[in-house]
Amino acid sequence: MPVIRAGALVLTVLNEARGLPVFLESLSAQSVLPSEIVVVDGGSTDGTVDLLRAWPAPANCMLTLLVRPGASISEGRNIAVAQTSAERILVTDGGTTLDPRWVERMLAAFDSPEAPQVVGGFFEPVGQSLTERTIAFAVTPELHEIEPTSFLPSSRSLAFVREAWESVEGYPEWLDYCEDLIFDISMKNRGFVFAFVPEAIVTWSARSSVRSFMKQYFRYARGDGKASLWWKRHLARYLAYIAGLLLLVGSFFTPWAAVALALGFVFYMRKFWCRVWNRRARFGPGLIWGLALVPLIVVAGDLAKMAGYPVGLRWRAAHAKANR
């Protein structure tokens, strides 16, 4: 039997029936389990709630399932945290799978010499189809790309003390996407100590089609605009594509423009190709096709971001004007 430690695991779910059995299996297999698990369902219609009700929670681990139709991710997480009595809170997503020692390593980090109040784990890509794998492997940073001191952990692999959550008044419920980044930034700005635990790994799978991936990244960028995040990063993307279009036009007049365009394209795609290639042992079948698919995925994601960011900025401007 797994060891039970004081702490709570919270997550929100919405139509996760496809991946939920694997997640629950990975949760049952933890070397250490939290004393509480609170799941908030946002109104699933695919049998997610039935799966959770039928799941035999491990002994001495209290499971609470709350159905709140229409609740956003932020609202669901705040409801779940408020429901718990634990001082240490772990957060993940129902679409992930947990390394067998994920809970153990996340909770143990609080007792390290640095005595952090916020713990960020890491995440690795998986996927059933070639498209899912290529998207996930291309967009997920490798460990060597992470700067631990500035890393803002995703809430698919996060833990924090209740004091930190209370201090920033929880997840920002005015945001539908990028809420975990604003939550992280708020805790950093309040002076809470962060720790990065790369061995605390969860796996995640991307969207099943390029179209759904674009929809997701449009919403991410819209969230960036709403929260006024990463304007330099978004500006650089616009400038890169403007330069690419100018070189494309110039290539009809001089071959040097075509050479510059080709070199710029390879330089821009190199990071994404390397992410897929460096993980080739885990990528599975279709690696060459996946590498060929990378440019389509990157460009599709960039176009979605470039469309979504100004929508978020307009939303922010409209709400700022309304609140004057």
Rounded to 5 degrees, what are φ and ψ at 321?
-65, -40
The pLDDT of residue 2 = 76
* Domains of the chain in sequence order: 3-205 (3.90.550.10), 210-322 (no CATH)
The Cα 103–Cα 89 span in angstroms is 10
pLDDT category of residue 199 using cuts at 50, 70 and 90: very high
CB 133 within 8 A of CB 127: yes
First to last CA, the chain: 57
- Which whole number is the average pLDDT over 168-180? 92
Q: 112: which 2 tokens?
A: 């390290």
CB 1 within 8 A of CB 58: yes
Instruction: Work out the percent of the chain whose per-residue pLDDT is above 70.
Output: 98
The pLDDT of residue 122 = 95
Helices then strands, each counted (H, E), the chain: 12, 8
pLDDT: is 178 or 197 the higher one? 197
pLDDT category of residue 321 using cuts at 50, 70 and 90: low
The pLDDT of residue 114 = 86
Task: Return the H-helix or E-strand segment holding 41.
Answer: strand 32-41
Least confident residue range of 54-63, 102-111, 167-176: 54-63
The pLDDT of residue 322 = 62
**DSSP secondary structure letter of residue 97:** E
- Which whole number is the average pLDDT over 150-160? 94
Residue 171 pLDDT exceeds 60: yes
The pLDDT of residue 60 = 85
231-258 residue pLDDT tens: 999 999 999 999 999 999 999 999 999 9
The pLDDT of residue 33 = 93
Residue 40 pLDDT exceeds 60: yes
CB 32 within 8 A of CB 61: no
156: nearest Cα among 204, 112, 213 = 204
Residue 323 pLDDT exceeds 60: no
66-83 residue pLDDT tens: 999 999 999 999 999 999
Across the chain, mean pLDDT equals 93
The pLDDT of residue 245 = 96
What are the C-alpha distances in Å from 186 to residues 136, 193, 320?
27, 12, 20
Residue 155 pLDDT exceeds 60: yes
